[in-house]
Amino acid sequence: MTAETVLLSDIAVVLIVAGISAFLFSKMRMPAVIGYLVAGILLGPHTPPFSLVQNIESVNLMASLGVILLMFSIGLDFNLKKLRKIGLFSIIAGSIEILTMMTIGYTLGNLMGWSHLESIFLGAVMSISSTAIIIKVLSDYGKLKESSTEAVIGILIIEDFAAVMILTMAAPLTSGSIVDIKTIISMVAGIVIFILISIILGAAVIPRIINRIAREQPGETLLLVCLGLCFAMSLVSLAIGLSVAIGAFIMGVIISQSDYVEKVIEKITPVKEMFLAIFFVSIGMLIIPALIVQNFLVSILIAIVFIVGKTLSVAFAGYVANLDAKTSLVAGMSMVAMGEFSFIIAKLAIDTGAAGEFFYSTIIGVALITSFVLPFSIKKAGRTAELISEHLPASLRSTLGIIERLRASVREKIATSEEIRKKVRTDITWIFIDITLIFVVTAVANIIYNFTDIMSGLAEISPGLPALIVGSTAAALLIPPVISIMKRIRAIVAVVVHIALDTGRFNAIGGKVIYKVFMNFFTIFIIIVTVIYLISIVPIPPDMPYISPVLILIIGALVAYLFRDAIKSLHQRMSQALSRAIIEDEKSKDGIPPKNQIG
């Protein structure tokens, strides 16, 4: 047969079998994604007597287009207005949950004897739930308007963004190069800078072009232009060493600023669905059924850890981020399904040689198990939360009630008091500014450190001396923003305690206890995080192996003490300069820390 005949035959077989399989699984109230995977298994080369697809490479090429279009559609949904709407809750809860699940996955991989890279990929896979499957099941059970669902959707949006970052950062992990915290920080900084520059420049021009085309041209022209821009941005992303996924995602975000984004989504969706179905079929074609059976016990173990870990991590994250305990638990039980991104990440691990076929088949087995569990989990989530609440020890139930009432009082007071709201907002803004300063100082120090060899050659001194000076100076400059963060947190805690006393639920002694508990917790937490962060990024002078990061930090602290006035002044000027880029001048003046604010 000719190449054209083979291609047409393969497309026809893939789409027909995928359609029939999806239809049958939908009748069984199962996600269509599972049907696509089963179709891939039936069509693949590992299912006897022979493969029904003749040119698997062509199918894989079309599957790659499906991934690009998936990223593009996520960008279209992830517009800046929605980002503002999901708010601080989703960012806090999503970040806590993702980091917790990545840690659980990495630890589990190590305990099972997997390699370092396989454990990292397991953590990445376990950190992401299936948006498509979860939303579909919630819709089927009529739960889209429940309060827990709003929390679930917010966290899923953060997970989708995290998945894009994971896919982008996977390249250096699989290249064989050594990846440390400095590499990861530089990589994340580069990705964020690329995203910001692209969105700022693109949003100034492209949405206007899309608006004009949508008004004056037929729908197919709009579709072609948007697809062209999507693939062009993917190409730019690939050219600078990033994943095609990040380019497609960025272009989606840019086009989402158009007034006609809903029309774009309407036009893109059928194309995306077709290529995405082919992608999931191609995933299924890689599955070796014998390996799924062979690794089934491992899949069950990972599935159990995933379900329990995801439920508890989302519940904890939701509670920390201001949800009540019952809603947090229901949200956690509604997110226990692996899906599309898990398949993409697992396939990437296979394609790059970071993991073997057993890893891929195991993850597919986990995804199948969790997809079957999800409908039951969502259906029973409310009743389960009520049963747990009824059987909690009275003391714990009372403590949770006090915390929730206190949080409600704080929210109400902040909402009704302009003065308190302004103060808390100002403190949070300055905490953000100080955190930004920490990253800026770190980035500049790393850039200067790369030139220490040249500096030592010009001055004819030991190469380690400039590195020691750079590290100590950076440590000294980082002390003021850390102290400032602690003082701002202390001010926020004082506001919370003051509100708690006003409610009449606590006496003065109780207020002092709350204040000390909160302050001790945050102080210890900030110190631990800061020390770990600084130790991980402080460079060791190459010809001074006896110099440890701790010693460099001690030298930095001594420098900060000796030159405290100059460093305080520099920190204040840097903070004020950065604040002008973040808040209005009038608000900036209200929030500028006085000269005695630090130290």
Residues in CB range of 513: below 8 A, 6 or more apart: none
Kindly state whether residues 311 and 444 are assigned to the same domain.
no
pLDDT at 133: 78
Residue 11 pLDDT > 70, yes or no?
yes
What sign has the CA pseudo-torsion 390, 393, 396, 402?
positive
Whole-number pLDDT of residue 455: 63
Amino acid making up residue 255: I
Structure-token match 């994971």, residue found: 166
Domain contains 42: no
Share of the chain above pLDDT 90, in %: 9
Task: Answer yes or no: is pLDDT of 383 > 60.
Answer: yes
Higher-pLDDT residue of 395, 99: 99
Residue 495 located in a structural domain: yes
Alpha carbons 221 and 218: distance in angstroms, whole number:
6
Say if residue 304's pLDDT is above 70: yes
DSSP H or E run through 59: helix 56-77
Among candidate residues 549, 406, 425, the one with its CA nearest the CA of residue 492: 425
What is the Cα–Cα distance from 384 to 329, expressed in whole angstroms? 9
Whether 379 is in a domain gets the answer yes
d(CA 369, CA 364) in angstroms, rounded, equals 9
- The count of residues in the chain is 599
For residue 120, what pLDDT band results from cuts at 50, 70 and 90?
confident
Which of 135, 133, 111 minimizes the C-alpha distance to 122? 111
CA gap 328, 147 in Å, rounded = 10
Alpha carbons within 13 A on the beta-carbon side of 311: 20
Residue 151 lies in a domain: yes
Quick one: which of 240, 241, 360, 344 has its CA closest to 292? 360
Q: Which among 87-96, 143-152, 263-272, 352-361 has the top mean pLDDT?
A: 263-272
What's the distance, CA 30 to chain centroid?
27
8 A C-beta contact, residue 209 and residue 257: no
* 9 pLDDT above the threshold of 80: yes
**Domains of the chain: total:** 2
Confidence band for 320, pLDDT divided at 50, 70 and 90: confident
302 band by pLDDT with thresholds 50, 70 and 90 = very high
Q: Which of 42, 28, 4 is nearest to 281 (CA)?
A: 42
d(CA 583, CA 216): 39
Distances (CA, A) of 153 to 34, 99, 132, 305, 594: 21, 18, 11, 22, 42
Residues 147 and 253 in one domain: yes
Taking 80 as the threshold, does the pLDDT of residue 539 lie above it?
Answer: no
CATH code at 276?
1.20.1530.20
330 vs 550, residue with greater confidence: 330
The amino acid that residue 48 corresponds to is P
| 264 in the same domain as 230 | yes
Residue 429: pLDDT band (50, 70, 90) is confident
Look at residue 599 in the predicted model and tell me its pLDDT. 36
Residue 598 clears pLDDT 50, i.e. is over it: no
* Together in a domain, 381 and 410: no
* 287 Ramachandran zone, left/alpha/beta (phi>0; psi -120 to 50): beta
Say yes or no to pLDDT of 300 above 80: yes
Tell me the per-residue pLDDT of 123-178, one tens digit each, with 9 for 90 and over.
Answer: 989 999 987 778 777 877 778 778 788 888 888 878 877 887 777 676 555 555 55
Q: Which amino acid is at 498?
A: H
Q: Is the pLDDT of residue 224 over 90?
A: yes
Residues 411 and 377 in one domain: no
The whole-angstrom separation of Cα 91 and Cα 96 is 9
What is the band of 269 on the pLDDT scale with cuts at 50, 70, 90?
confident
241 and 378 belong to one structural domain: yes
**CA angle in degrees (0–180, nearest 5) for 378-156-121:** 100
Q: Does 59 have pLDDT greater than 70?
A: yes
Residues 525 and 427 in one domain: yes
Answer with the residue of higher pLDDT: 15 or 239.
Answer: 15
CA distance 100 to 465: 39
First to last CA, the chain: 80
Report yes or no: 364 and 338 within 8 Å, Cβ to Cβ.
no
Instruction: Please identify which residue in the block is written with the tokens 């929730």.
Output: 404
DSSP string, 572-593: HHHHHHHHTTTS-HHHHHHHPP
Contact in structure between 253 and 198 (CB atoms under 8 Å):
no
CA angle 306, 311, 312 (to 5 degrees): 105
- The pLDDT score that the predictor gives to residue 587 is 46
Question: Of residues 170 and 279, which shows the higher confidence score?
Answer: 279
Distance CA 82, CA 473 (A): 41
* Alpha carbons 183 and 173: distance in angstroms, whole number: 10
Q: What is the mean pLDDT of residues 382-410?
A: 77
Here the contacts of 522-525 (C-beta below 8 Å, separation 24 or greater) are 522/486, 522/489, 522/493, 523/486
- Burial grade of 520 (CB within 10 A; 0-12, 13-18, 19 or more): exposed
CA distance 471 to 446: 9
Domain boundary among 386, 417, 448: 386
Query: With contact defined as beta carbons under 8 Å apart, do 281 and 35 qualify?
Result: no
Q: Which of 351, 386, 421 is the last residue of a domain?
A: 386
Q: Does the pTM exceed 0.85?
A: no
Q: 20 in a domain, yes or no?
A: no
Check whether residue 292 and residue 422 sit in a common domain: no
- Of the given ranges (160-164, 273-277, 414-418), which has the lowest mean pLDDT? 414-418
Task: With beta carbons less than 8 A apart as the criterion, state whether 598 and 568 touch.
Answer: yes
Report if residue 322 sits inside a domain: yes
The amino acid occupying position 399 is T
State the residue for tokens 């029973």.
Answer: 380
Do 435 and 369 lie in a common domain? Answer: no
Q: Are residues 382 and 412 in the same domain?
A: no
Q: Looking at the structure, do residues 137 and 272 belong to the same domain, yes or no? A: yes
- The per-residue pLDDT for 232 is 92
Together in a domain, 316 and 409: no
Would you tell me the crossing angle of helices 206-216 and 219-239 to the nearest 10 degrees? 160
Residue 196 lies in a domain: yes
Rounded to the nearest 5 degrees, what angle is found at the Cα of 314, between the Cα atoms of 311 and 320? 135
Structure tokens at 250: 């960025």
545 pLDDT more than 70: no
Over pLDDT 70: what percentage of the chain?
A: 76
The Cα–Cα gap between 344 and 363 comes to 11
CA distance 302 to 406: 38
Interval 463-517: pLDDT, tens: 666 667 777 787 788 888 888 888 888 888 788 777 767 666 555 555 666 667 7
Q: Which domain holds residue 244?
A: 65-386
Which of 386, 413, 447 is where one domain is finished?
Answer: 386
Phi and psi at residue 547, to the nearest 5°: -85, 120
Residue 19 lies in a domain: no
Nearest Cα neighbor of 121 from 326, 351, 461, 297 is 351
